[in-house]
Amino acid sequence: MPEAYERHLVPVLFRPFAADLAARAAALRPGTILELAAGTGALTSALLTAVPGASMVATDLNEAMVTAGAAREPRAHWQQADAQQLPFEDGSFDLVVCQFGVMFFPDRPAAYAEVGRVLAPRGRFVFSSWGPLAAHGFDAAFQTALEECLPGEAPRFLREVPHGYTDPALVASDLTAAGLTLADAEEITLDGVAESAASVATGFLDGTPVSAALQARPDARTLHTAVTQKMTDRLGPGRVTAPMTATVYTAQHQA
CATH number at residue 231: 3.40.50.150
Global pTM value: 0.94
227 neighbors 153 (Cβ within 8 angstroms)? no
Per-residue pLDDT tens digits for 42-70:
999 999 999 999 999 999 999 999 999 99
Per-residue pLDDT tens digits for 164-186:
999 999 999 999 999 999 999 99
The reported pLDDT for the residue numbered 2 is 76
Count the residues in the chain: 255
DSSP track, 181-237: EEEEEEEEEEEEEES-HHHHHHHHHHHSTHHHHHHTSTTHHHHHHHHHHHHHHHH-S
Q: Can you give the residue range of the structural domain that contains 66?
A: 2-253
When pLDDT is cut at 50, 70 and 90, the band that residue 219 belongs to is very high
E strand or H helix that includes residue 70: helix 63-72
CA atoms within 13 A on the CB side of 140: 14
Task: Please give the Cα distance from 135 to 139 (Å, whole number).
Answer: 9
Please count the structural domains in the chain. 1
Mean pLDDT of 87-96: 98
Query: What does the mean pLDDT of the chain come to?
Result: 96
What interhelical angle do 108-118 and 168-177 show, nearest 10? 60
What interhelical angle do 197-207 and 137-149 show, nearest 10? 70
- Helix, strand, or coil (residue 82): coil
